[in-house]
Amino acid sequence: MKPEDLFAIGLRGELVFDPVRPYLYFTDTRADKGENRTQSRLGRLRVDTLTVDFITSGPDDSRPTPSPDGQHLAFLSSRSGSRQVWVLPLSGGEPWQMSAIEGGVKDLCWAPNSQGLVVVAHIAHGLLEHEQAASKAPGHAASDQQREQYFNRDVRHITHQYYKLDGSGYFDDGRDQLVWVSLDRSMRLLTSGFHHYAQPQFSPEGSVLYYLRRAYDPESGHPAQTDIEQLDWATGTVATLPLGGLAVSTLAVSADHRYLAFQATRLEDQGYGLTRLYVWDLKDDQLRDWSGHLDRSVGDESTSDMPALSTARPAWQGQSVITLLSDAARVIPVRLTAEGVERLWDRQCVVYDFALGGDVMALAVSDPVHPSGIVLVHRDGREQTFWANTPWPAEHGPVMPRETWAVQADGTRVHTWAIVPDGPGPCPGVLEIHGGPMSMYGYRYMHEFQCLASQGYAVIYTNPRGSQGYGAQFCQTIMGQWGEKDYRDVMAGLEQALTVWPDIDGTKLGVAGGSYGGFMVNWIVSHTDRFMAGVTMRSVVNRFSAMGSSDLGWLRVPQYGDRPWWDDPAPYWEQSPLKYASAIHTPLLIEHQEHDFRLPIEQGEQLYAALKYLGRPVEMIMYPNESHGMSRTGKPWHRVYRLRSIIRWFNRYLGDGNASV
């Protein structure tokens, strides 16, 4: 298992069935060595013959969306320059460009009569404009006014609290609006104003369009506050459902047009709550929580460094809703009703997308030794699995994790795993800690772990308190108190692994983690000298400064009391690993991304400056033009370099000193 194997790993997702033919469409993604980018193309699995072929060549095709009459397959592609809607005639022929909207298209939804689509497009200044080529610098004949306008086009005039977002960058003057695009390529705006709109969804007969509305920057409240609006297609009148206090992420209309199902989190939980499945009764205007009795989040809460594309959303099946459920490292499809839950397919794996097609349910899955695949589950119980491409033969593939539980004195059970390489032991170990913390390690392939194992390291990982998948209280208990119960949990998981698996050398240990996991690395090495080396990535170092520099920093004030950081610095400083920097003696590799808006690079620089000042062993690697999620979605060669750097660091302090990885 080598870092560069990521170039040969195929990932499949965005599943959707053809409404007429026995076809399952999907998006196939993989990293390209020559272009240094992730490329995607559309694939087709024939359910009747069990054959797979590819119907577009890419390099940037995604979101296959068949028309209800089965005549056309719409998809998103940037082959014209920006991301637009293209249409492939399913009776034969070449794809043709349906939309040409300046700002590009983000999402699409067919009308039930198949005569057009509602798309989500980024519209500047409220004007629906035709896609244009990039503007050129003004020539010698230009006026000073033209030059001033062109050369100052990158100046930002900021007036809002919420003005940037990691992965998206600084916000511009555009808004995500809904646009109607007909088959004859005529277009018209459906929304306008200062809000963002998303997730268009027609009622089955096409009389009502439902969608999400999020205020761009309300003067009061939360930027994630989301409302559901309904547009009467005949009259153009708009009504808003009185939800209040929810951040809604998905939407689905029942076939009888009686109910809306959607996933949402409560803003009052401040990110430490569960994602719930709500149902709105359109007849009696009642909101019900269908998943409240589960004490688990709906949707996929697992983490992976090889994520596939997914469009998973609740799906109505009669009077029940099919959705995903995150439960103790599993993500599985379930059937929810007002009365209870039925597990439809339960394996030690992560289902990250699904589609329903008559008597067949298609699942996009990953397990600890398979990055991605598609499983067809038939109503009669038959299963057929199609794993995506990997560069290794089955007999020399990834190592299956071992599993155990650590039990704390207060009865808390900490889910723990170890990937232990074959060969004579004992081998050095690396404790890995996930980000979030409101996430979970799942029964899912992790390329970083397998690469470390191939270099002779046992990788120990846990789901400590703060993780999803084990109930609301398990997650909420560390809010505003990082480094206490969660610290004890990861260390308890480590001790349990060393006890039950003596082929791991407890005298040669490293620790690694990113984001919240990076915070935990900083906290651990400043509170114990147990580890011989550490790698901290895109980490929290100084809570006080991050409150103002992070894209979402100010939202965390309620976690530390009712006073802002400048009025009451104490709780923020207490939660800052920088406060304890003098106690760090563990050799530390600091990794940070220069365009990280979630935890700006000044966080890594502060820790590096402190440890350099103290004369401690420390190095820092900066990645240009990368955001907080680089390890998952960054430029492929940066991801390879990152994995090699981690291995070299641990080789230097835990291994044989080999630095030629």
pLDDT, position 344: 97
* Residue ranges for the chain with pLDDT beneath 50: 659
Q: Per the structure block, which two tokens stand in for 469?
A: 């998948």
- DSSP tag of 285: T
pLDDT, position 126: 82
pLDDT, position 133: 73
Q: Which residues of 300-319 are buried (b: 16+ CB within 10 A; e: fewer)?
A: bbbbbbbbbbbbbbbbbeee
The stretches of 501-551 forming alpha helices (DSSP H) are 516-525, 543-549
Measuring CA to CA, which residue among 256, 233, 247 is closest to residue 118?
233
Q: In angstroms, how far is CA 342 from the centroid of its own chain?
A: 26
pLDDT tens by residue, 85-121 = 999 999 999 999 999 999 999 999 999 999 999 999 9
Place of tokens 């028309």: 67
Q: What is the 3-state secondary structure (H, E, C) of 118-182?
A: EEEEEEECCCCCECCCCCCCCCCCCCHHHHHHHHCCCCCCCCCCCCEECCCEECCCEEEEEEEEE
Q: Which residues pair with 53 in a beta bridge?
A: 44
CATH superfamily of 399-653: Alpha/Beta hydrolase fold, catalytic domain (3.40.50.1820)
User: What span, in angstroms and rounded, lies between the C-alpha atoms of 433 and 427?
Assistant: 19
Backbone angles phi, psi at 42, to 5 degrees: -100, 135
Place of tokens 């009391």: 561
User: What span, in angstroms and rounded, lies between the C-alpha atoms of 623 and 645?
Assistant: 12
What single letter denotes the amino acid at residue 350? V
- H or E element at residue 37: strand 37-46
Residues 6+ apart with CB under 8 A from 243: 226, 227, 228, 264, 280, 287
Report yes or no: 512 and 538 within 8 Å, Cβ to Cβ.
no
pLDDT, position 660: 60
Backbone angles phi, psi at 240, to 5 degrees: -115, 130
User: What span, in angstroms and rounded, lies between the C-alpha atoms of 597 and 588?
Assistant: 23
SS3 617: coil
What single letter denotes the amino acid at residue 314? P
What is the CB neighbour count within 10 angstroms for residue 167?
Answer: 14
- DSSP tag of 269: G
Q: Which residues of 353-375 are buried (b: 16+ CB within 10 A; e: fewer)?
A: bbbbbeebbbbbbbbbbbbbbbb
pLDDT tens by residue, 31-75 = 999 999 999 999 999 999 999 999 999 999 999 999 999 999 999
pLDDT, position 300: 97
pLDDT, position 658: 53
- pTM for the whole structure: 0.95
What single letter denotes the amino acid at residue 205? E
Q: Per the structure block, which two tokens stand in for 474?
A: 């398990």
Q: Per the structure block, which two tokens stand in for 649?
A: 């660091």
Measuring CA to CA, which residue among 319, 287, 314 is closest to residue 299?
314
Q: How far apart are the first and last CA of the chain?
A: 12
| Residue ranges covered by each domain of the chain | 399-653
User: What span, in angstroms and rounded, lies between the C-alpha atoms of 121 and 658?
Assistant: 50
pLDDT, position 22: 96
pLDDT, position 219: 65
SS3 483: coil
